[in-house]
Amino acid sequence: DLLGKHLGVPVWHLLGGKRINRVPVDYWMGRCTPEETARRTRQAMALGFHGVKMKCALGDPVAERVRAVRDAAPEFSVVLDANERLENPSGAMQVSKSLEQFDRVILESPLPQHRLDWYAALRKKIAHPIALHLTSLQQLLAALRADAADFYNLLGPLAEFTQWARVAQAAGSPTWRGTGIDLGIRDMSSVHAAAAAGCQLPSDIIGALLREDDLVVEPLHFEDGTIIVPDKPGLGVELDRVALEKYRVE
């Protein structure tokens, strides 16, 4: 941010240039009941989103939750982020089978990610595409060699992430930018990284919508399920020092 402001260029310029002007974004929710899933989906639709990412585990009412999403928003895409909690290929196949009636559903990290052999075998047995959430180039290269996933959710430092995403895309695997329901400064850094990487798939850069305050003066600009990539020098946002003082803990 400081370097961009010093040079008078946006952060995306320092990452190799902007490939997209808008970063696609999905809404996000944790594990909850089908009824709460429907309520949050209606909220997401009212905010202009076109898809939702939600946490899940083996034993959750996954099919009922996906049905709740589609009843509330028939055109929504769904990413089911299991954080490896479908346990084994049998569990993942069980969940996928329960979702056979639904299209546009992605299973993210359904199995322990060190078992790339499980992922490669699972891809041949289920209809739903699989995504892996990786945090290093070594992990990505191993997964690409194993043909372990259709898509990649990548999280790492800005310059490295941009390079990794381009490697995945060159191998024919679309990507999105991993996040952690962050505050405004980090959210905007993810916007610049995703723009420089040309991420085709929706990230979940929506910390500003889920937190009481995102600690930036002007909020991120959401429009029609995307975030507008700023062209101002640096990150294009300013730290809200009044809010910072309000929330500071001794």
pLDDT tens track for 79-89:
999 999 999 99
pLDDT at 44 over 90: yes
Cα(84)–Cα(113) distance, rounded to whole angstroms?
7
Residue 57 DSSP class: -
Percent of the chain's residues with pLDDT above 90:
98
pLDDT at 151 over 90: yes
Task: Identify the bridge partners of residue 28 per DSSP, sorted by sequence position.
Answer: 53
Q: What is the pLDDT of residues 233-248, one digit of tens each?
A: 999 999 999 999 999 9
Q: What is the helix (H) or strand (E) element at residue 126, kind and residue range?
A: none
Phi, psi angles (nearest 5°) of residue 234: 70, -145
> pTM of the entire structure?
0.94
135 contact partners, CB below 8 Å, separation of at least 6: 154, 155, 156, 178
Predicted local distance difference test score (pLDDT) of residue 138: 97
Q: Which residue has the tokens 């996928």?
A: 96
Cα(173)–Cα(103) distance, rounded to whole angstroms?
19
For the chain, the residue count is 250
Residue 47: other Cβ atoms inside 10 A: 12
pLDDT at 56 over 90: yes
Q: What is the pLDDT of residues 58-109, one digit of tens each?
A: 999 999 999 999 999 999 999 999 999 999 999 999 999 999 999 999 999 9
pLDDT at 21 over 90: yes
pLDDT at 250 over 90: no
Q: What is the pLDDT of residues 160-209, one digit of tens each?
A: 999 999 999 999 999 999 998 899 999 999 999 999 999 999 999 999 89
- Share the mean pLDDT of the chain: 96
Predicted local distance difference test score (pLDDT) of residue 110: 98
The stretch 217-226 carries a mean pLDDT of: 93
Q: Which amino acid is at 7?
A: L
